[in-house]
Amino acid sequence: MRMAQLSAILPRPAAERLRRLPLSRDQLMLLMAAINLLFLGLDTYLAHLISGTIRPREWIPVLFGPAAGITLLVAGLIALRRRQLATMLATVVLVASIVVGLMGAYFHFIRGTLPTAPLLQRITIDLLVWAPPLVAPLVFSLVGLWGVSAAWVEDPPNSGRLRLLGDRTLQLPYSKTRAYLFMVSLGMLATVFSSVFDHARTGFDNPWLWIPTVAGVFAVGVSAGLGVIKEPTRADVATHVAAMILLILVGVVGAYLHVRADLVGRTAVVPERFLRGAPFLAPLLFSNMGLLGLIALLDPRER
């Protein structure tokens, strides 16, 4: 069976260099999870700072992000000697991340609704646009989900069979590679929703705002499509790689445009604008998902 692999579309020397990467695909995924959690802590801190006062429950993701990120990095070091212990530690952290994300989505949703308003006005598009970003906390859950997937070894590669504690195994309906692709698609869907809701505040007056929407939706379809295809061709992989590179570019250009908007044309740095204006870290979520989409296509074998 053919597998969706990046090396399949690269020239032989480049593919060879890719195989000699110091970290395996799952290790890279865990590293990305750790980095994501660290940044999510910072991003959440900045977002929650907007009101000027961070409420007790709003501290949960702010503190959890860096704590979880650092713990994952420590788990990575422990894994060099005691793989099982590191896997357990990472799993606990990542499951907690899933819970934190779900709690955040719930709190944001509740904050975005008017439970005691007239029935038809309790949830409106307007409310959801102006509420705290509904799907943003789910990034914690997504990181947890892909982190847990990365923490458990798939043996043999691309079989969908995960080695758990002791001799126990878990057979998944899909290979890890395909699961990663579905998660990238899901993550992109959340990112697109988040970006559409955020950009809707400006009424989409700026035509540039359609680029992340279109590129994001394209990537959602392509990633999910590649996950569905049992035997992807080189063209399929190439299309996916192109979509992921597009996402990375969209993220970088978006971050530049957001910073430029916050500089209000005079290159003066007003911290308030970076807090309340265009979120400068948010577009990098596109790049993040693009990078994950590329890592998903690396050699699935363990080192």
Helix, coil or strand: residue 108: helix
Helices and strands, number each (H, E), in the chain: 11, 3
Instruction: Tell me how far, at minimum, the Cβ of 210 lies from other proteins, in Å.
Output: 9
Contact partners, residue 106, CB within 8 Å, separation at least 6:
none
Stretch that binds other proteins, among 64-72, 76-84, 270-278, 295-303 (CB under 8 A): 270-278
Please state, in angstroms and rounded to a whole number, the distance separating the CA atoms of residues 188 and 198. Answer: 15
Tokens 């995960």, residue located: 162
Q: Give the x-and-dash track for 156-185 against other proteins (CB under 8 A).
A: ------------------------------
Among 48, 176, 240, 258, binds other proteins (CB under 8 A): 240
Q: Check if the beta carbon of residue 196 is closer than 8 Å to that of residue 266.
A: no
In the complex with other proteins, which residue's Cβ is closer, 27 or 213?
213
Q: Which of 24, 124, 159, 169 binds other proteins (CB under 8 A)?
A: 124
Among 28, 136, 226, 247, binds other proteins (CB under 8 A): 226
Contact call for residue 213 and other proteins (CB under 8 A):
yes
271 binds other proteins (CB under 8 A): yes
Q: Which CB sits closer to other proteins, 172 or 224?
A: 224
**What residues from 35 to 64 belong to the interface with other proteins (CB under 8 A)?**
51-53
Residue 207 lies near other proteins (rule: CB under 8 A): no
CB 64 within 8 A of CB 95: no
| Per-residue burial over 94-122, b = 16 or more CB atoms within 10 Å of its CB, e = otherwise | bebbbebbebbbebbbeebbeeeeeeeee
The answer to whether 290 and 192 have CB atoms below 8 angstroms apart is no
Applying CB under 8 A, the residues found at the interface with other proteins are 51-53, 110-111, 114, 116-119, 121, 124, 127, 201, 213-214, 217-222, 224-226, 229, 232-236, 239-240, 243, 264, 266, 268, 270-273, 275-277
